[in-house]
Structure 1
Amino acid sequence: MLTRRDFLAASTIAGAAAAAGLTRVAFGQQANNAPILLVLSLRGGMDGLHFVAPVNDTNYIAQRPTTLRVADSGATAGWSVASQSGLDFRAHAATVALRELYQSRSLAFVHATGLMNPSRSHFDAMDMMERGVTDRAAPLRTGWLTRYLSGLGGADDGFKSAAIGSGLPALFLGAEQTPSVSNPNDFRLWVDDYLRPYQMKILNGSFAGADPVSTAMRRMLNTADVFEQKIPRAANGARVPYQPRAGVSYPADWPAGELSGALQAVAQLAKLDVGLQLATVDFGDWDHHDGQEWRFRSRVAALSTALAAFWSDMQDFQSRLVIVTVSEFGRRLKSNNSGGTDHGHGNVMMLLGGPVQGGKLYGQWPGLAPDQLDEGDLAVTTDYRAVVAEIMTRLHPGSDAATLFPGFAAASPALGLIA
């Protein structure tokens, strides 16, 4: 419905830009079969030693109660991941939804990964990790996904990238056009459909200059306009809510519902064929200083079931989809006195995708003996940048590790994560 306020607002702007034309950007065809990279941030410092661990390691057993370890037997026994040097690595029982993906070689783990900086500060570690530096004082003022995005080339499509949520993570620091989207069905710039062409005409005219701000605004407006034409509608013109692939049911209970909604937003953007190649999703609350037994179990079950549903929902895109998890640091080997764990260092990363060489546990295991730890924590033997650089350079051969992460030398030989 056109209100008096809407009319006056439109009329006022129209007086200044009535002659402006409407331009549109058509999404490039090359994006239709382009790889899609989803970075899933597990903020808070996820406990990799409670996710995938050597259950028969005597140091592991000695430093944690059974409630904070991956079980090796009984009803809550973890499922087998790998056997290395006599160590029995298993995944937490609550990740059972991922077992089939691991056994079908779509899922892989990389252990003892992390930031090559000893910081145990959430803010500092995440800042360095998302900018791709090892020193907070480093002058690099862009995120590594921004640098990856700038090298993708092709048409300057508005939905080539998207941050799912209410804001942009530092991974996209410096990105000029990446939108933040909570629900694609709510992505709009106008009050109602009747006003849309008039508002587009007015706004394009208001930003007709060649300066960077005007250019970015026109791109954003064109993105919104093309997206508006892609979104499915009912007979009455109302936007149709997203429907997953037949037979797929995302978990809706807490806390899985939060992640399910974000992953469905990614799936919807991919299926709308708007050129999506890069997305981020946050799933935090992993800072378990107390009550970790039930908090971790609930969180990891939510992560696993939502990811499994998303993987099934994205069946038509699996061959070109890669999901990678990152977390600012792991947790200490020794539990605290509050039924939790404190900030640590080394952690585990998870990769899921069609190009992933799954069914394997990658990385060099440093051991958990006192002289093998880093100030009491799992040591980092694989720079997380080696993992994400290998993913990005394999998905997009035009990418270069030295450009993505200035000053970083890519692992040689490569880990072999991506086919």
Structure 2
Amino acid sequence: MSKSLPPHAEAQLTMKRRQWLKFSGSTLASALGATSLSSLMLTPSAAQTADYRALVCVFLYGGNDGLNTVTPTDNTRYNEYAAVRAHLALPQSSLVRLTGTDYGLHPSLSALGTAWADGALAPVFNVGPLYQPLTKAEYRAASNASQLIPDSLFSHSDQQVLWETASTDAHTRTGWGGRAAAVLGTANPVISVGGNGRFGLSELQGPLVLPAPGATFGIEGHQNLSWAPIAARKAALDALYADSHQNKLLDAYAKQQRDAFATSDRLGALVKTQPGDANAVSAITQAFAPLIVDGKVTTGIGQQLYQVAKLIHGNATVQGNRQIFFSQLGGFDTHGNQVASNVLQGQHASLLKMLGDAMACFHNAMKAIGMAQQVTLFTQSDFGRTFKPNNSSGTDHAWGNHHLVLGGAVKGRTTYGSYPTLALGGPDDVGVQSWELHGRWIPKVSVDQYAATLLKWFGASDGQLDAVLPHLSNFGSQRVLGFL
């Protein structure tokens, strides 16, 4: 091949290359984070060492109703809750009691009872984007342009960005997971089994996006190298991208493709494995048995956490002793028909059932493969929902929210953060005038503190935490929350 091609020939060659690399409707390079695929092939550290740790983010898109996820069980506060929640209130007797506390989980999360008994589950109350600690008086006195007020409060797209980036500026480009991977120099970028979200984006790199179990991760139709025509085509592609070019952009593109091929060759078989396959890990299959039908995991979030469990078990293949994973479950924008006549029915109950069952299976899988102490799962979401129901048997957009942290290293059987005062217009409600008394809680815990607690356990130094979380210094000595 010539070392220098005419511009029109280079353009044609580039187009042909893109046509070769189809992967779920986009190029494999794009799926791997085309901003800097070369960094995927950093020198790996020893696999499955005692120092291995993984963080697993589960983002609940749409804004999960935290008040019906973790609810007070003591009579005084339960009565306050029920008086405002009215027909949306969960019956007190239906709550999954968190023994040793005055709280209970939504009945659809009953599968997490074992994790609570294990001491591996902890709710974290009233978390949200904050620039610094904020009182109601300060909130009411601040102008819309004040840095104290996060951008575009109560907006789905903007608040998703603020949670994924640990910022109060909706124009922030990089996610806190992506920045952490870059600052800590992990062997891989954030590994996403839930799409190409902002959470895994760094300045020079996108997340490594993987498909569901059973899907092909690589060049579609080019897995059977024992067939001579396929082997010849693959060899031609390898030769094509092995050549160097005087054109630096073309040379960089060729390197990205080489790295993409290497990554898909390394992970393809692991990614594709399903529970019914002969090479499936029996301990993980048994842990996910409640979600398996005909050899396949049946729910989307179950498939994602099954995929993560395989990648953690196969860390010698994945490479690196620090991994950050991203998964997601959508549908939590429950403006209407949030509950049905039976509390175990309705949109919110169905979503929490999928979430709780998948989290429980994942926790059991980590115990079964001896990795529970080294893996921590945590939830995030756009925002909480209003304490007061709307006129459509649902709830509207709010601010502070309650989240769950799960793993063997979690200091469980207790709660963290500060549960809001359950009073419309009270000290935690942003509203004062009658028309704005909906129960939108001002967070007491920032996303920065929540993320810092996770990353401190993950191995980040104080200096690295400040680099990843620029607002963390605004919270003084209260940098971490102590749940790990």
- TM-score (norm: length of structure 2): 0.71
Alpha carbons 1:115, 1:129 under 8 Å: kept = yes
State the distance in 1 between where 2:42 and 2:467 align: 29
Identify the match of residue 105 of structure 2 among 91, 115, 121.
91
Aligned match of 1:200: 238
State the distance in 2 between where 1:27 and 1:145 align: 20
Aligned match of 2:449: 386
State the distance in 1 between where 2:394 and 2:245 align: 53
**Secondary structure, counterpart of 1:385 in structure 2:** helix
State the distance in 1 between where 2:164 and 2:42 align: 31
Alpha carbons 1:97, 1:305 under 8 Å: kept = yes
Q: Does 1:374 align with 2:430?
A: yes
**Secondary structure, counterpart of 2:373 in structure 1:** helix
Aligned match of 2:175: 143
Aligned match of 2:166: 132
Distance 1:347 1:187, change over 3 A: same
State the distance in 2 between where 1:224 and 1:177 align: 16
State the distance in 2 between where 1:197 and 1:27 align: 25
State the distance in 1 between where 2:269 and 2:244 align: 22
Aligned match of 2:335: 289
Aligned match of 2:380: 326
State the distance in 2 between where 1:208 and 1:105 align: 59
Distance 1:48 1:82, change over 3 A: farther
Q: Does 1:59 align with 2:85?
A: no
Distance 1:99 1:233, change over 3 A: closer
Alpha carbons 1:49, 1:69 under 8 Å: kept = no
Distance 1:176 1:216, change over 3 A: farther
Q: Where does the alignment leave 5 or more consecutive residues of structure 1 unmatched?
A: 1-8, 14-23
Aligned match of 2:119: 105
**Secondary structure, counterpart of 1:95 in structure 2:** helix
State the distance in 2 between where 1:213 and 1:201 align: 14
Deviation at 1:206, TM superposition (A): 6.7
Give, as a single letter, the amino acid of the residue that structure 1 aligns with 2:262: N
Give, as a single letter, the amino acid of the residue that structure 1 aligns with 2:167: V
Q: Where does the alignment leave 5 or more consecutive residues of structure 2 unmatched?
A: 1-15, 21-39, 131-149, 226-230, 340-345, 432-438
State the distance in 1 between where 2:191 and 2:273 align: 22
**Secondary structure, counterpart of 1:357 in structure 2:** coil
State the distance in 1 between where 2:67 and 2:270 align: 44
Identify the match of residue 267 of structure 2 among 204, 208, 227.
227
State the distance in 1 between where 2:325 and 2:381 align: 16
**Secondary structure, counterpart of 1:221 in structure 2:** helix
Task: Report % sequence identity.
Answer: 24
Deviation at 1:214, TM superposition (A): 4.8
Aligned match of 2:153: 119
Query: What are the within-5 Å matches in structure 2 for residues 170-249 of structure 1?
Result: 170-174=198-202, 176=205, 178-183=207-212, 185-189=215-219, 191-192=221-222, 193-194=224-225, 195=231, 196-205=234-243, 213-228=253-268, 245=284, 247-248=286-287, 249=289
Aligned match of 1:275: 319
**Secondary structure, counterpart of 1:326 in structure 2:** strand
Alpha carbons 2:200, 2:206 under 8 Å: kept = no
**Secondary structure, counterpart of 2:471 in structure 1:** coil
Q: Which moved more, 1:362-371 or 1:332-341?
A: 362-371
Aligned match of 1:30: 46
Distance 1:208 1:395, change over 3 A: farther
Distance 1:82 1:63, change over 3 A: farther
